[in-house]
Amino acid sequence: MKKYLPAVLFSTFVFILIIISPIKIKLSEDKYILTINVKASETDDLQLFYKSNNEDFSEQKSFYNKIIGSPDIQKVEFVFPSIENVNVIRLDLGQNQNQKRINIESINWCGTEISTDNFEINEYIIMVNSPEFLLKIRPELSPAYDPFIVLKRDLQSIELTQKKDFSKIILALLVSIVFFFSINKKIQTYQKATESAYILMFLIVLTFPYMYELFADNAIVKNNENRELAKKPEFKLSPDYAGKFESYYNDNFGYRNETIELASKFKVDFLHVSPKPDMVLFGDKSFLFYNDPITIESYSNSNVLSGEQLENIFKSQLEIKQKLESNSKKYILGYIPNKHTIYSEFLPYSMKVQKKNNISLANQLKDYFSSKDFPFIDITDQMLNEKKYKQLYYKHDTHWNYHGAYVGYKAFCDATMPQLGLIPFSLDHFDIRYHETGSGDLTKIMGVSGLNSNQELVPTYTFKNVNYASFTTNDGGQDYPAQTIITLNENALDDSIVMVFCDSFSTLFRQFLSLHYKRVIYIWSYPVDSHPVEWYSLIEKENPDIVINLCVERFLPEMLIRAKY
């Protein structure tokens, strides 16, 4: 052991010297980033204004960024090309007047967290319980809705702190290893030195995530995936504890998200392949397509039904319709087409070759119900026609965008005119803004926060006249199933109460439908035989005038095959 002592001491000295030196490792160009971790109930736009002390705020010096209505925390980043002559920032908390609460978990400026107490709120905001902001409409003011917060401190006065520089630690380790083998004359061959170096570097890589967790500042694993990460199990001597802890550690070790995103971005940006082809596939024109088993059955037409099955579905729906109509309630049944149906020409080859025939389950149902004089709402033809003029679905998400939701809303009004008599609002009633994004639920599934090389321009619709037909949004609370949304519209021309059984496609659809009715209850599920008593009791409790059963195309089997009232 003594023969290695000089080399160990000298390499240790080199390691310490590099760590305490003022050397900075610059792996990329400097970026000044304001990061906001936020939770919002409604899809909206955040706008960040910046200026010097002697200027006025202007649109030219501002950024837009989209937030998605979700119970999950999402990260929003504003990247400044430079902060020269930037002293003051103002954050506008959205344009969507249905947005009543925004929860800002943290605001981070170049690695330094800024408390929300450092921001001044305007008259459209109430600080409920820091960091939660309650937004409100002030019709007596002009404009009637403009919630924003302004940083009270000078931005340049904020002392920037960075996370411990692990790049320097890695460099110090590698250099000290080189010195160790260079000085140690007892090592006779290059082969032995190389083998030893590989072993040491392997140990460094193996222990690096743990060391990051142990020493790095704010070593919190953020959830960039479209699923819930495993929770840390309570320690107990049980047979399943080791397995649970392994699942927890696999989901939460240091630099996990960065490693996954780096590997995923390499596959996406350089190889142009999906890191999770069993869930997401690349199509033409930078479109991403969902590829889970339920969706595969839908786009491949593998879920078509026999005549007997169609008859059973019809009888079940007819029974629901007759029971509701016997209590003076209207019943509307229909579906929203898959992204795969509207943009089938952009599907990857591996999806196209799986199609078994040209008859889909949706077409089967539409034709069969039509033959029985039972209205079955299908908006596919209108969507196919309108896609010639506007993009109707997000490229990086499974859902339709605001253009698509508006086209679907107009088609729904036309199709239900005999039953509901809805006259859709024209485009002139909406303020339409655009922003760029490279993210969506499909990028999250792939493990990347967004695709910088494939940005798309997406719209946001905001109803202009808040005193005419605007509505407020509330969650259902404990008396309703999870994710229930209730909208109240005191200015609605129709006093009807509407109950909608739906899925995630209703998020944008309700921005239009709720403009018409005084009260709409959106139940995020369908009346199926696993919960017949629950759905019946909800209908009895609310006593709606109209019941709408509406799902995305791939969920038609879930909605109809097990339907029961």
Which helix (DSSP H) or strand (DSSP E) does residue 207 occupy?
Answer: helix 190-215
Place of tokens 């004359």: 185
Position 217 scores a pLDDT of 46
Sign of CA dihedral 124, 73, 438, 266: positive
Position 228 scores a pLDDT of 58
Q: Please report the DSSP string for 325-393 in residue order.
A: HHTT-EEEEEEE--HHHHTGGGS-HHHHTT---S--HHHHHHHHHHHTT---EE-HHHHHHHTTTS--B
**DSSP β-ladder status, 70-80 and 430-437:** unpaired
Residues 6+ apart with CB under 8 A from 66: 43, 44, 45, 46, 435, 437, 458, 460
**Which three-class secondary structure state does DSSP give residue 496?**
strand
Position 189 scores a pLDDT of 52
Residues, the chain = 565
C-beta neighbour count of 334 within 10 angstroms? 21
240 token code pair: 């399943």
Distance between CA atoms of residues 294 and 297, nearest Å:
5
- Domain boundaries of the chain, sorted by first residue: 2-25+165-215, 32-157, 280-560
Position 378 scores a pLDDT of 96
Helix pair 402-415, 506-513: axis angle to 10 deg: 60
Among candidate residues 74, 99, 125, the one with its CA nearest the CA of residue 507: 99
Q: Are 565 and 320 in contact (CB under 8 A)?
A: yes
191-221 confidence digits (pLDDT tens)? 565 666 666 666 666 665 555 555 554 444 4
Query: What is the 8-class DSSP label of residue 162?
Result: -
CATH of region 32-157:
2.60.60.40
Distance between CA atoms of residues 291 and 355, nearest Å:
13
Beta bridge partners of 106: 37
Position 374 scores a pLDDT of 95
Q: Please indicate, yes or no, whether the overall pTM of this predicted structure exceeds 0.95.
A: no
**Which three-class secondary structure state does DSSP give residue 181?**
helix
CA–chain centroid gap for 318, Å, is 37
453 token code pair: 């090389």
Helix pair 166-183, 190-215: axis angle to 10 deg: 150
Position 551 scores a pLDDT of 92
188 token code pair: 């006779």
Position 195 scores a pLDDT of 65
Position 163 scores a pLDDT of 46
Residue type at position 6:
P
345 token code pair: 């020409």
Position 474 scores a pLDDT of 80
pLDDT in tens, the chain (565 residues): 566 676 677 677 767 766 666 555 444 445 678 888 888 878 888 888 888 877 777 777 888 888 887 777 888 888 876 777 788 888 888 777 777 678 888 888 877 888 777 888 887 777 655 555 666 655 555 456 778 888 887 777 776 554 445 556 666 777 777 666 666 655 555 556 566 666 666 666 666 555 555 555 444 445 555 455 566 676 677 777 677 766 665 655 555 666 666 667 777 767 778 888 899 999 999 899 999 999 999 999 999 999 999 999 999 899 999 999 999 999 999 999 999 999 999 999 999 999 988 899 999 999 999 999 999 999 999 999 999 999 999 999 999 999 999 999 999 999 999 999 999 999 999 989 888 888 888 988 887 777 766 788 899 998 887 666 778 888 777 788 878 889 999 888 899 999 999 999 999 999 999 999 999 999 987 765 545 546 778 888 899 999 999 999 999 988 887 655 4
Residue type at position 216:
A
Position 27 scores a pLDDT of 41
Residue type at position 228:
E
